[in-house]
Structure formats: C-alpha cells, structure tokens
Amino acid sequence: MKKIIAGDYKWLLILTLIMALLSIPAACRSSGGSVEVLGEWGGEELASFQAMVAPWQQSTGYNMSFTGTRDLIAILTTRVQAGNPPDVAILPNPGLMVELAKGGNLTPLDSFLDMTTINQDYAQGWVDLGTVNGHLYAIFMKASDKGTVWYDPKTFTANGWTVPQTWDEMIALSDQIVADAKVPPAPWSIAVESGASSGWPATDWMAEILLRKYGGDVYDQLVDHTIAWTDSRVTDMWQMFGTVALTPGYVPGGATAILATNFQDGTYLPFETPPKAAMDYLGDFTAGFISTQFPDLVPEEDYSFFPFPTITEAYSGGVTGGADLVVAFRDTPVVRSFVQYLSTAQAQTIWVKRGGFTSVNNQVSLSDYPDVLTRDAAQQLTGATLFRFGAGDSMPAAVQTAWWAGVLAYLQNPSQLDSILANIESVAQTAY
C-alpha cells in the first residue's frame, strides 16, 4: 500500500514537470520582447542575417529567433492553417505572398512603415511587386540578377570582338566567332544538366528572351497561364532560344553536349586556358562558380558580364531575377520595429559588406559592395525599369517541371516542338 502511494506521488511529480516544461515556450512568447522569423537561410547566409539583426537587438533590447527550413512553403502553409504563424517570414518568391495577402493572413506594412521613405528608398517596380490590393505587404531584400551574360573581356579585346547591345548584334557576333575560327572557336557555352531539375538554365534563357521581346504583360500572362503554351509568342521564345542552342557551331558538341554537361561545369568554358567558348548566359551567382574554379582570375578584368542584349527597344531595361521578401503575420510593436529596421539601408549595408547580398534599396551605397561584379549587378537591379521574377519559379511546380522536361525533349528533337508545347499546356491546364 505504501509503495503504491509513493508511486502516485512520482507520477504527480512527472506530470508537474511536464506541465512546467510545456509552459516555458508560452512564457517566452508572452514576454513580447521577441520576434520569431521563419526562412530558408542556414550556414553562411544565416550568420550574415544574424549579423544584420544584431544592432537592432542591441539598441532595442528585443530578441530575434530564426527558424530555418528547406521546406518553407509546406511548413508555412501548415502553420498558417493551424493558426500559429511565425511573426515574420522571409519568402523566396512573391507567389505565396500574394496568396497569403489575399487570404488576409498578412499584416499590411504600410500601416506602420513611412511610405514616403519606402518610395524614396525603393524603385517603383519593387514597391509595385510588394503591393496587393493597394496595400504594401512585402519589402524586398537580397535580390539576384538573371540578366547576365558572362565573358572574358581579355578574349574579346584580343580578338577584336565588341560586347553586343542588341539581339541582332549578338547573333551577328556569334556568326562572326564561328567564321573567325580563332580561340575560342565557338561563341556559346550552354549546359542544362542539373540532376532532377535538368533543363532549368534553358528556361532562364527563355524567360529573359520573353521579357525583353514581348514585355512584362505577356510575361505575366504566361506565368498566370492566361495565354496558352501553344501561343505564337511562346513558340517564338522557344525558337529564339533554339537559334542560339541549335545552330551548328554555336555550342561546342551541340545539343548532346548541352544535355550532358552540368550547368556549373558549363560556366567554366570561357575561362579555361585556352577558352573553349566565348559567352555563357547564367544568373549573377555564376561569379561564385568562376572564382572558386579559377581563384587566380581577377573579376572584371578576367571575367565579367554584360547585360542580356535588348530585343525590343521598349523593353530594354527588363531584368529577370529573384529576391527574398520580408512579410509579417502579426502586428506587434516588436514586429513593427523589426520590419522597419530590415527595410533600411543601414541594416542591409551590413550584409552587403559581408558579401553575397545584393540590395534593391537605392540608399545602399554602391561603394559598399565588396567586389565590382556584385556592384554592377546591384546597379542593374536597382535601376531596373522592368523587373520580373524568374518565370519558372513563379509558376506552379508541375508546370515548371514540365517546362524543364520540355527543354530536354526539344534539344533532342527540335522538330517536335508543337507536341512538346501541347504537353506542357495539358499539364498547365490541370495545374492552375
């Protein structure tokens, strides 16, 4: 009998302990001095983000706790549905933001941010992208630029080639490089192998072509699927890419090499000794691949980029790319102070100086960028008159995957373009 009572006490003790443990997070939350941020960053990026937030923590005495996940969309959707969203989230593209804003899950930022300052600090294009139904819901930071064609300026000078400004000049230059048969003998390096997402570099090519030839409206219509994949402008986009990828002599090894070469290895060709190709189109992150593979090369002297050439004059400032968005789910003094702080040039400059961060805030001084190429990319982005997120990333995942697969099929059998497009269209019809 005695033993049983002792056992009961033990259980009581354990229960009390469990309850005490459970109440710890609740206690933390109720203190109000903390902001929980959900995002995809980890490692180097997270360290930089924490460095960026540190002065805010010091001056306000508030705390920031960061939850990093590779599966952001799933976790965020679940938490929002469960009524337990984080205070602030960093989203990788605006699609989810628009959905959440329309669902009434987000706090409008213009209710507490000084919009005069925001309009001063950010180009109209960026403010528009963060606005839903007349309210600002997101501010943009950490942008990337996909309008970059990489080349070796020394090779160009040595061979007497000039950087093309327009598509026609680019094709003329390509023909000239083939005809010159100098070193390098081929104008282009294109490589699309990327494991399960093979094909994406080509979809970046096409998105850039579409934006610069037909402008933002047609671009948005394809992303929203209000025009079909069988539309003549879409077909044209594929064929223009095909002109570069499939013209004999343009890419060493032709379509087979494009399919079999890893996209990262493809970026090396213009910078090998001797160079095997003159140009490679890929986003601004290419600088990292080149500097790691060829540590002796000097940026801007040995490797550099020129903006993707103009196709239609009216859309000449168009840039595709990506950017992380800051959105808020709760409206508390801590969240207000935190978001306000993140939007400032003062905060963003901290990460800019650490490297790997391109700000779209005009007030971030270009001289703060650690290297010339990031500065050039930042300049191209902050001045972008027409910015669009990478088309594939803004589409439903099924359509994006079908586009990738379509690229591979097209490169092997260009004559089947119509049936490939019909296929993507049928995926799109069920996905939207």
Partner 1 sequence: MGKLVANLLAKRRTPGRRSARKNYAFWFWVLPALVFVAVFLVYPVVGTLRLSLMNARSTANVGLDNYTWVFTDPAARDALLNNVLWFTLFTLLAVGLGVLLAVLTGRVRYESTAKAFIFIPMAISFVAAAVIWKFVYAYSPQGFTQIGLANAIGTGVGLPPVAWLVEQKLAYLGQLLPAPLHTNNFALIAVGVWMWTGFAMVILSAGIKGIPAEVMEAARVDGASEWQVFRRITLPILAPTIAVVATTLIIQALKVFDIVWVMTTGNYGTDAVATLMYKEMFSYQNFGRAGALAVILLLAIIPIMLINIRRFRAQEQNR
Contacting positions for partner 1 (CB under 8 A): 195-196, 198-199, 252-254, 256-257, 259-261, 276, 397-398, 401-402, 405, 408, 412, 419, 423, 427, 430-431
Q: Is 1 or 196 the residue whose CB approaches partner 1 more closely? A: 196
Q: Closest separation between CB of residue 60 and partner 1, Å?
A: 45
Q: Closest separation between CB of residue 428 and partner 1, Å?
A: 10
Task: Report the C-alpha gap between 155 and 152 in whole angstroms.
Answer: 5
Q: Is 225 or 276 the residue whose CB approaches partner 1 more closely? A: 276
Contact 419, 210 (CB under 8 A): no
Of 416, 426, 15, 1, nearest to 228 by C-alpha is 426
Q: Closest separation between CB of residue 80 and partner 1, Å?
A: 21
Q: Is 121 or 152 the residue whose CB approaches partner 1 more closely? A: 152
Handedness of CA 335, 341, 344, 348 (dihedral sign): negative
Q: Closest separation between CB of residue 324 and partner 1, Å?
A: 25
DSSP string, 333-382: HHHHHHHHHHHSHHHHHHHHHHSS----BTTS-GGGSSSHHHHHHHHHHH
Task: Report the C-alpha gap between 101 and 80 in whole angstroms.
Answer: 12
Q: Is 373 or 402 the residue whose CB approaches partner 1 more closely? A: 402
DSSP secondary structure letter of residue 262: B
Residue ranges of alpha helices (H) inside 31-166 are 43-60, 72-81, 94-102, 115-121, 124-129, 153-159
Q: Is 347 or 408 the residue whose CB approaches partner 1 more closely? A: 408
Q: Closest separation between CB of residue 107 and partner 1, Å?
A: 32
Q: Which residues face 143 on adjacent strands?
A: 323
Q: Is 276 or 330 the residue whose CB approaches partner 1 more closely? A: 276
Provide the 3-class DSSP secondary structure of residue 140: strand
Q: Which residues face 189 on adjacent strands?
A: 280
Q: Closest separation between CB of residue 256 and partner 1, Å?
A: 5
